[in-house]
Amino acid sequence: MDNAATTRPYDDVLDTYMNVNRSYYFNTASIHQAGREAAKLLEASRRQVIDLMGLGNHDCVFTSGATESNNIAVQSVLRHKKPFGRTMLISELEHPSVINVAEAMKDEGFNVRYIRALSDGTVNMAHLGELLDDDVVFVTVMAVNNIVGSIQPIEKICEVLKQYPRVHFHVDATQAVGKIRVDYSEADSVSISAHKFHGVKGVGALMAKEVKTLSAITYGGGHEGNIRSGTVNLPGAAAMARALRISDEQLDESYTRVAAYNRQVREALDGFHAVQIQPSGVPHIMNISFTGAKGEVVVNALGSHDIFVSTTSACASKLSKLNETLLAMGNTQPVIEGSIRISFSSQTGDAEVKRLITALQAVHNEIGDVLK
Amino acid sequence: MIYDHILVRYGEITLKTRNRKMFINALRQNMKRALADFDVELNAHWDRAYITLGDEAPGAVMDALENVNGILSVSPVAKLERSEAAMKDTAVHFANGFGEGDTFKIEVKRADKSYHLKTFDIQQMLGGYVLDNVPKLEVDVKHPEHQIMVEVRIDGIYMYHEVRQCIGGLPIGTGGRALLMLSGGIDSPVAGLEVMKKGVEIEAIHFHSPPYTSPQATEKVKQLVDIMSKRTGADIKLHIVPFTELQTKIYDWIPDNMSMTTTRRIMLIIAERLAKQVDAKAIVNGENLGQVASQTLASMHAINAVTNFPVLRPLLTLEKNEIVAMARNYGTYETSVLPYEDCCTIFKPKSPKTKPVVEKVEKFESKVDFEPMIEKALAGIECYSVNDAEEKEAFRSLL
């Protein structure tokens, strides 16, 4: 129940990963016949990713994941845009792989301004309008938030930014892929990460409309158009292309199914006075607070029932500070401290959800006396 | 009897002198591509090329070379030791394959002048030997039906008798790039192949208007591209332009009898912009003077007014039956006549103007802002090529 942290690869995806490792293990930069075949497979994978993302006018650079994609986008585009302005706007809901690199860019003379969030976990469009001025060259907003699942108004933001042709709009689509369909075609760059949609770990992509605005942040042999050096992870890239196709094919069916699971959990917890559930975005992510308890305690209690959930964004859950997203949505400290995240995937089944509900009710009874 | 070489004679390359090397290099590349599936060795020299067969069948290798632009003819060649016996055996072997009562002649070239037999000696010796051993034949030195060729070289004697005519012309890629307007009819593929003969590399543009035009119509154009690619050994890229929005706008706004002229003008505008994108220096189409209303001189004048690009019309003055014969020869005819409507035939006006006036057409067009739709059409182009399709097929199980 922790699929927003990572997902189990589809069996077909693992088949591809193994088969490509067996038959196409060559370096895509080699000029011999075998290397050329591998390069062809890489390009076919690239085209499939671009097509499935609906980004026919974008180029695609394979990376090690969304963290690297976000880093390349933020660092290289800002440096490229420096002559035109020095301010970037990021939503306060962003993942650390955006926030932390943005903060680091302050050392290079850039300003970071945060777009406030509404209580439903979406960015405040009015505030975005206030923040936009001639010095803004970069705006980034995630497509789906990883803590509460709120869906950000990407298309609306694109519409607003049309009046600011100088602004590069970057979208971190990590949590959206395979869950909802978004029209990214107006975005200047988009990050994705394979392991969030049943691909393998260690591979992702950065798609960009104007690839010349991107540049390397690590230096090496000049792979991937000199933007991301290092022998290309072809098995991972091909497996990602396949995972994306399967995710896309099952999206409508699984959305309906997961939306029903979301409703079942909400109904089952209805009337538990200490339980507070954050407003829903994508049905795959639910953020539930056992007010008065510590999130960690709830996670461990559920763990003893063999139910695995997370406290906050898993990459950062070892940090003991209040969750930024929940804070930005105006939640109180007890609600934030008692929050857990339950996240479903296309592979989640009825029986698992039944067990989850039973476990949630049991845990509520077990720790009931600490709950106010 | 073993053929161990294929001799390749050049077409128009032989007219080139100072830049011949560039043409030979291009031909070498194209031959290499055409022979990718064979395990052969290729040596391209100043005046001809040799392919060393190894274990490959000569017939299959010649089939692969037959439609490579720039090759005049090919011959399967046997390389022998420099002995009279070997020459005699080979000559008789060739002659046994000739028909009853056929005439033949022995042709000798002595590249190695130190060989102990003179040209005339070899001719006499072999001619006599063949007549003695294959009595069904006669000699005719003026107009023989068969020529047995003997080339005496330092490293051996080369003999052949079969000459297979090929496509000739210049190697593709030496004449720049052009964009072919490919409708799916009989004429446009022929126009493309004619231009390719002159060494011009082709990319194709096709306009489709779903749902008015069927997926089969688009499939048919892809098939034509497959045929053209296979025939020439070039990987022709097809750009499929979504044209529905423009087509319906024209239909709604432009008077019926002028709609065809405007349609053609907008197609040409889009073709020109794509040509610039793909670095093509000309636009090619299958227009044929007076064949239909849009192909009268007045129509061409009105349509051509939107572009400064050279528009090449290789079929301009041919008769329809000539074009059909060419299409049959090129192997595009059967596909071209499949009964799927393209966007030109579906929106056909009842009585199109055969003499449109540019100023009038412009006046009507000025009432509509086509520009954003043109941009949208260009942005929505889908690409197809045989290589891509084969790759997709090859990697289908993985992706």
Quick: pLDDT tens for B321-332: 999 999 999 999
> Measuring CA to CA, which residue among B287, B305, B282 is closest to residue B361?
B305
B104 annotated to a ligand binding site: no
**Nearest-Cα residue of chain A relative to residue B388:** A44
DSSP characters over B173-205: TSS-EEEEE--SSSHHHHHHHHHHHBT-EEEEE
**Verdict on whether the full-model pTM lies above 0.85:** no
Give the confidence band of B187 by pLDDT, cuts at 50, 70, 90.
very high
Q: Is A223 on the interface with B (CB under 8 A)?
A: no
Q: Provide the 8-state DSSP code for A316.
A: G
**Nearest-Cα residue of chain B relative to residue A37:** B391
Collapse the DSSP code of A300 into the 3-class scheme (helix H, G, I; strand E, B; otherwise coil) and give the result.
Answer: helix
Region label for B4, one of left (φ > 0), alpha (ψ between -120 and 50) or beta (otherwise): alpha
B373 annotated to a ligand binding site: no
Let me know how long chain A is: 372
Q: Is B392 on the interface with A (CB under 8 A)?
A: yes
Judging contacts by C-beta atoms under 8 Å, the chain A residues touching residue B395 are: 40-41, 44-45, 238
Residues A121, A124, A128, A131, Cα dihedral to 10°: -100
B101 annotated to a ligand binding site: no
Helical (H) or strand (E) element with B170: none
Tokens for B349, please give them.
């006006």
Asked about A60 being catalytic, the answer comes back as no
Q: Is B106 exposed, middle or buried (0-12, 13-18, 19+ CB in 10 A)?
A: buried
Each residue of A87-130: pLDDT tens digit? 999 999 999 999 999 999 999 999 999 999 999 999 999 999 99
Region label for B87, one of left (φ > 0), alpha (ψ between -120 and 50) or beta (otherwise): alpha
Contact B266, B370 (CB under 8 A): yes
Q: What is the pLDDT of residue B155?
A: 86
Q: What is the pLDDT of residue A317?
A: 53
Contact B91, B108 (CB under 8 A): no
Q: What is the pLDDT of residue A313?
A: 46
B207 annotated to a ligand binding site: yes
Q: Is A48 on the interface with B (CB under 8 A)?
A: yes
Judging contacts by C-beta atoms under 8 Å, the chain A residues touching residue B384 are: none
Instruction: Check A45 against B391: CB less than 8 A apart.
Output: no
Pick from A16, A43, A47: which is nearest to B398 by CB? A16
Whether B346 has a pLDDT exceeding 70, the answer reads no
> Measuring CA to CA, which residue among A329, A295, A304, A292 is closest to residue A116?
A329
Q: What is the pLDDT of residue B1?
A: 52
**Cα A25 to Cα A297: distance, rounded to the nearest angstrom:** 45
Instruction: Check A41 against B392: CB less than 8 A apart.
Output: no
> Measuring CA to CA, which residue among A296, A360, A295, A305 is closest to residue A331?
A295
State the SS3 of B283-329.
EECCCCCCCCHHHCHHHHHHHHCCCCCCEECCCCCCCHHHHHHHHHH
B264 annotated to a ligand binding site: yes
Q: How many CB atoms lie within 10 A of CB B45?
A: 10
Whether A230 has a pLDDT exceeding 90, the answer reads yes
Judging contacts by C-beta atoms under 8 Å, the chain B residues touching residue A56 are: 379-380
| Contacts (Cβ under 8 Å, ≥6 apart) of B12 | B70, B168, B169, B170
State the SS3 of A324-339.
HHHHHCCCCHHHHHCE
Give the confidence band of A31 by pLDDT, cuts at 50, 70, 90.
confident
- Which segments of A197-327 are extended strands (E)? 204-208, 275-277, 285-290
| Identity of the residue numbered A172 | D
Tokens for B150, please give them.
């003997």
Task: Average the pLDDT over B379-397 and give the result.
Answer: 84
Partners of A38 in beta bridges: none
Task: Average the pLDDT over B189-200 and give the result.
Answer: 94
| Contacts (Cβ under 8 Å, ≥6 apart) of B9 | B48, B71, B72, B73, B74, B75
Instruction: Check A20 against B395: CB less than 8 A apart.
Output: no
| Greater model confidence, A370 or A104 | A104
Average pLDDT, chain A: 93
Instruction: Check A242 against B398: CB less than 8 A apart.
Output: yes
Each residue of A147-204: pLDDT tens digit? 999 999 999 999 999 999 999 999 999 999 999 999 999 999 999 999 999 999 999 9
Instruction: Check B391 against A48: CB less than 8 A apart.
Output: no
Q: Is A323 on the interface with B (CB under 8 A)?
A: no
Each residue of B76-122: pLDDT tens digit? 999 999 999 999 999 999 999 999 999 999 999 998 999 999 999 99
